[in-house]
Amino acid sequence: MLATLTALAVVPLVRAASSPQTTAPNVFVNIHVTLTDSKIILSRHSAPRGTDARFIVKNIGKKAHSFTLGTVARGLGTQTGFDKVFRPNQSQVLLLFLDYRGKLPYYSKLKADKNKPGMKGVFVIGAPIPGSVDG
């Protein structure tokens, strides 16, 4: 009788462990980036740590421009940014998980854009939101 009660007590624990676990949904932040021939315009200049950022980039200029955010490699090869050249009228969505808290510079690395003051700025990854990385 004791063995039967022990077996019944273990069954619910096994079922609970094998049932699907729920996770917090990803939080996406959309940042619209417009490249012109004289400046880079961001719809927002900050986002919370622990979110997935969708950088929706469009070049409305008449020349090619690059959009570089942060660094492609940091530390032991961890990506904390990206670098992409956009032809006129080209657009693309670039995804980046914001797991690094701090300031990430953005700029155009093309020679023709380097001396234009509007072609650079800073994007800030701030405090985490509740339920994300360490919030």
The domains of the chain, with CATH numbers, are 28-126 (2.60.40.420)
Maximum Cα–Cα distance for the chain, whole Å?
84
Q: Report yes or no on whether pTM surpasses 0.85.
A: no
Taking residues 46-53, report their average pLDDT: 91
pLDDT of 5 reads 46
Look at 9-18, 61-70, 93-102 and tell me which has the smallest mean pLDDT: 9-18
Burial classification of residue 86, based on how many CB atoms lie within 10 Å of its CB (0-12 exposed, 13-18 middle, 19 or more buried): buried
Token pair belonging to 19: 């049932």
Rg (CA), the chain: 23
**Local confidence band at 74 (pLDDT 50, 70, 90 cut-offs):** low
Sheet holding 46-48, edge to edge: 46-48, 120-126, 102-107, 65-69, 82-86
Tens-place pLDDT, residues 13-42: 444 455 555 555 567 899 999 999 999 999
